[in-house]
Amino acid sequence: MSPKAAKFALPVLLVAPLYSWGFSYEAPAISPESESGYEEKPGWEAETFAVAAANPLATDAGYQVLKAGGNAIDAAIAVQMVLNLVEPQSSGIGGGAFLMHYDGSEVRAYDGRETAPQGVSGELFLEDGEPLEFNEAVASGLSVGVPGTLRMLGKAHAEHGELAWKELFTPAITLAEEGFAVSNRLHTSLESDEYLRRDPLASQFYYNDEGEPIAVGETLKNPALAEVFRRVAAQGSAAFYEGSVAEDIVERVQNHPERPGSLALEDINGYEALDREPLCTPWQQWEVCGFPPPSSGHLTVMQILGMLDQQSLLEAPLDNGAPSSTWLHQFLEAARLAFADRGRYIADPDFVEAPGGDWSLMLAPEYLEKRSELIGEMSMGDSAEPGNPGELAVSWASQPNQPEYGTSHISIVDEDGNAVSMTTTIEQAFGSRILSDGGTGLAGGFLLNNELTDFSFVPEVDGDPVANRVEPGKRPRSSMSPTLVFDQESGELVASLGSPGGAAIIHYTARTLVAMRDWGLNAQEALNLPHAITLGGEVYVEEDRFPEATLEALRERGHTVSERELTSGLQAIMRLDDGTLFGGADPRREGVVMGD
């Protein structure tokens, strides 16, 4: 299929009349894709506005909001609520999010990251002095942070919303009440999960008596979530943060049968979304704006890109449609160095001071030039040490690597040129595996996050504290990298992009940016390219996507390489030279782009 072929993602006629007084939602008839895995996508063009999300029903809700005159923030809210329903394993009101917003003149970074309850200590994930087994910590009450997504969206809407808050919940309420067809990805995620069946509400709701998950294409209604959405739609996010919904969350966390958590009503009542100064970094002709700490995303992405720009490459970076071994070597070595800094320095800025008092020192060209000189012909393997970007108030220990998973990304550009890049998460697939019905007593509900396992399990190493250790009220370090790109000269928006994928979000985002800027690929082609990642030790490359000769050449340079699934969920919208938009959705997941 040629790129730019399909204008609409969905085989349906969309009826979304343009009422000047608001917005009338029409549930589309969408049958789920037959297979998950790698599914070629055409890329989508649009004249003036576009929305990209991880599920066709969610994309469609955003599309209908934009079509009715809603702006990018309005659409993001509708998309998020539908995602909560149809892709419950990845994000929702029980989790957290980072949202980058451009209003035509200013870029803001809205922080809806979960916070640790007041009752925790640095020893949260230790038992008899030893770190808990990772998945046991995840599927427990200990891992649940105070959800931030709704407060953050409420704040962004109060500052920028166009349509009434209430209306933006209509798509999700309609689909929750009338039911939606279960997608292949939701089905297979339910099937393969080992822990969700342990939760009494979730096992009743998503599985039959034999423990088999609801089938692909079967209609699922979620009355509990519909009721919670109705209250939040009518009363605002306070309906979630105060009263019976918050009480139910607390009760479930505190009464977890294996490992109860300390999350208290006061923690939830007092949650605040923050408005942070985004980090905007010049990158040749582009300026890349991303999320500051507590995300490590932008700093690590831009360290890698900054180091790569110092490297010369004597051959084509692409070899038969995949990154060449030489380019990959440089990329992976840059990642090793960047991850060494990330592991040492980056954590919640309200608890941890930046090296030299300023995070952007980690991106200073002189610093990255010095760091990139450490990249040689052979791999440094697992020996990358952090650099010294600036003076330290505390001598930090490096955080040992831990697994990270789950999550969804939304990119939107509206008719007026406002843009959103929002990455949203409950951390692992199905989060803490605790389903809350919001105290409604109805079937279904929303999942609670396990974001606190993004903190370091160990508070110190050899007597030195880890910057990202657990502390009351603190936000765990993230890898989420919602990104807005601008043209330095004209100041015009160039792209909105991001991905799920845990720490590998950083590699996925960095590689996509290089493909868009340097390799002349459109938003779809850029995110199709095969992935390769390292957090500092072993290299993982996407299964069956690289020529054997490339892997051999990497091994000859000293990399330990193995193949595995690398399920990014990239979404990207780019503005073309003629002013129109072109969007791409990751072939590895169920996302689509829609626009006009």
**Touching ligand GLU, residues 434-453 (CB under 6 A):** 451
> How, if at all, do strands 434-436 and 419-425 pair?
unpaired
405 binds ligand GLU (CB under 6 A): yes
Q: Is 398 annotated as a binding residue?
A: no
402 binds ligand GLU (CB under 6 A): no
145 binds ligand GLU (CB under 6 A): no
CB of 480 to ligand GLU, least distance (A): 5
Q: Is 502 annotated as a binding residue?
A: yes
CA-CA-CA-CA torsion for 144, 101, 225, 198, nearest 10 degrees? -30
595 binds ligand GLU (CB under 6 A): no
- Please compute, for residue 502, the number of CA atoms within 13 A of its CA located in the half-sphere on the CB side: 18
CB of 88 to ligand GLU, least distance (A): 15
Neighbours of 242 (CB within 10 A): 14
Query: Quick check: is 407 catalytic?
Result: yes
Give the whole-angstrom CA distance, residue 333 versus residue 384.
Answer: 9
Q: Is 387 annotated as a binding residue?
A: no
> Where do the H-state alpha helices sit in 68-125?
72-86
227 binds ligand GLU (CB under 6 A): no
Give the residue with the Cβ less far from ligand GLU, 227 or 348.
348
Among 84, 399, 479, 509, binds ligand GLU (CB under 6 A): 479
Among 111, 199, 319, 404, binds ligand GLU (CB under 6 A): 404
- Per-residue binding letters, 156-195, with ligand GLU (x by CB under 6 A): ----------------------------------------
591 binds ligand GLU (CB under 6 A): no
Among 480, 521, 535, 551, binds ligand GLU (CB under 6 A): 480
483 binds ligand GLU (CB under 6 A): no
Distance of CA 581 to the CA centre of its chain: 22
Among 425, 440, 483, 568, binds ligand GLU (CB under 6 A): 425
Give the residue with the Cβ less far from ligand GLU, 437 or 454.
454
CA-CA-CA-CA torsion for 44, 46, 50, 54, nearest 10 degrees? -10
Burial class of residue 562 in the structure, from the number of CB atoms within 10 Å of its CB (0-12 exposed, 13-18 middle, 19+ buried): exposed
346 binds ligand GLU (CB under 6 A): no
Q: Tokens 């490096």 map to which residue?
A: 398
Q: What is the largest CA-CA distance in the chain?
A: 65
Stretch that binds ligand GLU, among 271-279, 355-363, 366-374, 495-503 (CB under 6 A): 495-503
Coil, helix or strand at residue 218? coil
Q: Residue 433: name the closest of 137, 85, 126 by CA.
A: 137
> Where do the H-state alpha helices sit in 87-183?
134-138, 149-160, 170-178
Burial class of residue 274 in the structure, from the number of CB atoms within 10 Å of its CB (0-12 exposed, 13-18 middle, 19+ buried): middle
Give the residue with the Cβ less far from ligand GLU, 301 or 553.
301
Binding site for ligand GLU (CB under 6 A): 404-407, 425, 427, 451, 454, 478-480, 500-502, 505
Residues belonging to the active site: 407
Going by the annotation, the residues of the binding site for L-glutamate are 113, 454, 478-479, 502
